Amino acid sequence: MLVVNPNLCFDRTLWVDRFEAGTVSRPSRVEVTPGGKGVNVVRTLRDLGRTATLVGPLPRGRGDELARRLADEGIELRGVPVDGEVRSATVIVESSGRATVLNEPGPTLGPADLAALLEALDEELADHGDVVVCSGSLPPGLPHDTYAQVTDLVRRRGGTVVVDGARDALAAALAAAPDAVTPNLAEAQNLLTGATTELSHHEDDVEQSRAAAFEAADALQAHGARRAVVTVGAHGVAWNDEGGTPHWVPAHPVQPVNPIGAGDSFAAGLAAALADGCDWETAVRHAVAVAGAAVEHPRAGHVDLARVDELLSRSEAVR
């Protein structure tokens, strides 16, 4: 499997009892780790016993440090050297589980950088191209249709593409008909309505959220996605299969510890099942179990495999 992450970063996570803008906070703990949604996807795949290669631009400024930290975790990186410095993302996690994220934009890239990224990806597809996940934001300078170009490339190689992007990157990818898109409800609504606020979790009534998610899935599919999978946090997942038939998979009751990266783990769970040859319904159910286990883990992008199996067995029991 391959995971394309065009905007790698350092995650600086701070744990506080309660965060309020405009006040002084004293974190109880601080941790700096390699970040980017694709990094969390690969971490989850490793915990699930799968291997994946991370493909993305590697800025020269602090790029060596990022590559070293990834290697220390056992993550294989196909880095494409580019100018600029690795961005940072600040994540503030409260004791309630609520999270606030400040994402920097990343270095400005150009057409030559995109060409080098696609060339590297094409080389990797020869050996690892069965399932490819496109994950995260695009740095300034990369065209909005970057994931669409990735999708076209993977399809020519006979692979399956899952796009977990947002905003313009997701909108442009739809035209290439990716096999599935996996936005959360807020990301899907932002795309469809033009809103700009990105919620890190969703607190609406379950029926209201479910109806909104199905509406979003219909719209995403109408715009080109072969399958639209819309996650709704602690409520569940609404998804349309290739024929447009709607499905709902409820989330598992869990005790959240760190909600950051749950969507990334969901994409990893989906990709892992697809790589194993599972049908899409089974793959979505597997992804829901993986995401449920992920929010119970203190570190973003990690899961306990035994807990995944336990949640999945519960899901199978109620089918």
pLDDT, tens digit, 9 for 90 and up, residues 108-123: 999 999 999 999 999 9
Number of domains into which the chain is organized: 1
pLDDT band at 198 (very low <50, low <70, confident <90, very high): low
Which CATH number goes with the domain that contains 272? 3.40.1190.20
CA 271 from chain centre, in angstroms, equals 11
Domain residue limits at 53? 2-317
Residue 185 in tokens: 């409800």
| Residue, of 156 and 259, whose pLDDT is higher | 156
pLDDT of residue 195: 63
Is residue 200 over pLDDT 50? no
pLDDT of residue 203: 52
pLDDT, tens digit, 9 for 90 and up, residues 153-178: 999 999 999 999 888 999 999 999 99
Helix (H, G, I), strand (E, B) or coil at 120: helix
- Number of alpha carbons in the 13 Å side-chain half-sphere of residue 99: 26
Which of 141, 140, 188 shows the shortest CA–CA distance to 167? 188
Which of 10, 15, 9 shows the shortest CA–CA distance to 30? 15
